[in-house]
């Protein structure tokens, strides 16, 4: 009888161990777990949506807001677990390199339009910078500039630098870059000149210790143009 009880205990422990292993595999994205593995990224939802969910009218290319339906993933929280590869250099060319800059610009302009005393927003997103031109009748220009800048900062990756201006005469110069790319010759020199003019407008408050108003770190060089922090 004692041997039988010991055998039952051993079988019970083995069963619990096997069940735990199965659950661990599912959580790790193996088999039919709640996560779907895509490279080093474990996604709760099997679909990989755009930067943000908006329907596109294929006839004229205009954006339309999604309708809230029970099956719309936009109703859910966003959650992704990303595991850094133990192989050095494997994460260099990762998926964040294919950011849709036009969608980022659209999002920033839309969010800034909700700020009090701010309207008619033009946003240019390059590979490392955001330029925002807006009109305002605010009595506190620096506070308004800070709100616009931080709104843009909340949308783009943290390595971006954000420049804002309420000088609407600069709008046409910013718009001229809309059809350019980072590989366009002389585009950096043109951006330097526009940013220099934008910096004559209030830029809000410093982002933190070691960072100026535009998110530039001390001694930082970027965009191969040696535009350093003031």
pLDDT recorded at residue 201 = 97
Pick left, alpha or beta for residue 219 (phi over 0 → left; psi -120 to 50 → alpha; otherwise beta).
Answer: left
Quick one: pLDDT band at residue 87, thresholds 50, 70, 90? confident
List pLDDT tens digits, range 115-124. 999 999 999 9
List pLDDT tens digits, range 185-228. 788 889 999 999 999 999 999 998 888 999 998 776 544 444 44
This prediction's pTM = 0.64
Better-predicted residue by pLDDT, 201 or 48 = 201
Q: At residue 106, does pLDDT exceed 60?
A: yes
Bridge-based pairing state of the strands 41-43 and 80-82: antiparallel
Q: Cα separation of 193 and 173, whole Å?
A: 10
Written as one string, the DSSP assignment of 129-189 is EEEEEEEE--S-HHHHHHHHHHHHHTTS-TT-EEEEE--GGGHHHHHTTTT--TTSTTHHH
Quick one: pLDDT band at residue 82, thresholds 50, 70, 90? confident
- Find the mean pLDDT for residues 106-131: 95
Better-predicted residue by pLDDT, 58 or 207 = 207
* 230 Cβ neighbours under 8 A, 6+ residues apart: 212
Quick one: pLDDT band at residue 77, thresholds 50, 70, 90? confident
> What are the residue ranges spanned by the domains of the chain?
1-48, 99-198
CB 131 within 8 A of CB 198: yes
Reduced 3-state DSSP string for 112-143: HCCCCCEEEEEEEECCCEEEEEEEECCCCHHH
In terms of Cα–Cα distance, which of 214, 211, 189, 185 is closest to 199? 214
Give me the count of residues in the chain. Answer: 230
Q: In whole numbers, what is the pLDDT of the chain averaged over residues?
A: 74
pLDDT recorded at residue 84 = 78
- In the CATH scheme, what is the code of domain 99-198? 3.30.70
CB 105 within 8 A of CB 125: yes
Quick one: pLDDT band at residue 59, thresholds 50, 70, 90? very low
Q: Cα separation of 215 and 205, whole Å?
A: 10
Better-predicted residue by pLDDT, 6 or 78 = 78
* 113 Cβ neighbours under 8 A, 6+ residues apart: 119, 121
């Amino acid at each position: 009888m004692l041997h039988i009880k010991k055998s039952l205990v051993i079988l019970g422990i083995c069963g619990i161990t096997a069940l735990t292993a199965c659950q661990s595999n599912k959580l790790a994205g193996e088999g039919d777990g709640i996560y779907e593995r895509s490279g080093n990224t474990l996604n709760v939802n099997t679909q990989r949506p755009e930067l943000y969910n908006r329907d596109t009218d294929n006839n004229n290319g205009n954006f339309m807001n999604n309708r809230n339906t029970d099956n719309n993933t936009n109703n859910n929280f966003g959650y992704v677990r990303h595991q850094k590869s133990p192989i050095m250099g494997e994460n260099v060319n990762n998926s964040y390199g294919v950011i849709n800059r036009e969608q980022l610009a659209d999002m920033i302009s839309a969010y800034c339009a909700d700020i009090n005393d701010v309207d008619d927003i033009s946003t240019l997103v390059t590979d490392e910078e955001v330029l925002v031109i807006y009109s305002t009748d605010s009595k506190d220009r620096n506070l308004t500039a800070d709100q616009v800048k931080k709104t843009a900062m909340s949308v783009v990756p943290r390595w971006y630098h954000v420049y804002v201006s309420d000088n609407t005469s600069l709008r046409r110069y910013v718009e001229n870059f809309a059809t350019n790319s980072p590989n366009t010759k002389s585009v950096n020199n043109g951006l330097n000149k526009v940013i220099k003019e934008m910096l004559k407008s209030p830029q809000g408050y410093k982002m933190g210790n070691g960072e100026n108003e535009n998110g530039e770190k001390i001694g930082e060089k970027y965009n191969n143009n040696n535009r350093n922090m003031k």
